[in-house]
Amino acid sequence: MNYDEIIKNTLDEHRYMHTKGVVDTAIQLADKYGADRDKALIAAYLHDFAKPLGYEESLKLIEKFGIILDEETLENPELLHAPLGMAIAKYEFGINDEEILDAIRYHTTGKENMPLLTKIIYLADLIEPSRNFDGLEKIREAAYKDLNQALIISMNNTIVYLIKKNHVIHSDTYKARNFIIRNLHRGN
């Protein structure tokens, strides 16, 4: 399947450039940390496939696909495209690989005990070349040295940002962060 062609025809220029950046970055990280680069490529191409859909349409599709979501995800329109993207990858693109589906599903929040590919897509989404936000350079630098450190820095950054904005913090994000920190303390 020519994912590049599909994404180019589906996403606007800005989102297409972002997606291309995530693909390139995810492949670099997959090579560095020993993940499957073909899976990284597919997950990266499809991670924001559902992003152009509006809130109401997303909710309808979520119901159609029978996805059960927690309150924290349902109340945040920014998060819906991740579980919906997973369902589209599965039911419309016929992808059954659990690692790819998990990486798409949790690319916005992270989750407790993230598999390697999920960590890679989560970070690639944040550090791809067209991104620009406070604290990005530190995360980018860490991503090529120590994946878990990069995740902690980025999740700390996200949590602080959400607190400053007085927004809800999705519990998957602090569970993801706590899990990595506990393992580092145990020396894993």
Contacting residues toward Fe ion, per CB under 5 A: 48, 125
**C-beta of 125 vs 172, nearer to Fe ion:** 125
CA dihedral 124, 166, 54, 107 (to 10 degrees): 20
The span from the CA of 131 to the CA of 166, in Å, is: 23
Token couple for 66: 């029978």
How many residues are given for the chain? 188
Residues 121 and 103: beta-carbon distance below 8 Å:
yes
**Least spacing, CB of residue 82 vs Fe ion, in Å:** 6
* Residue placing its CB nearer to Fe ion in the complex, 79 or 153: 79
Q: Torsion over CA of 160, 108, 170 and 99, rounded to 10 degrees?
A: -130
CB of 113 to Fe ion, least distance (A): 21
| Smallest separation, CB 112 to Fe ion (Å) | 20
Q: Which of 16, 25, 8 is nearest to 125 (CA)?
A: 25
Complex with Fe ion: residue 13 or 185, whichever CB lies closer? 13
Smallest distance, Å, CB 21 to Fe ion?
9
Nearer to Fe ion, 18 or 177 (CB): 18
Task: Please say which residue, 102 or 125, places its beta carbon nearer to Fe ion.
Answer: 125
- Smallest gap from residue 88 Cβ to Fe ion (A): 13
Is the backbone of residue 79 left (phi > 0), alpha (psi -120 to 50) or beta? alpha
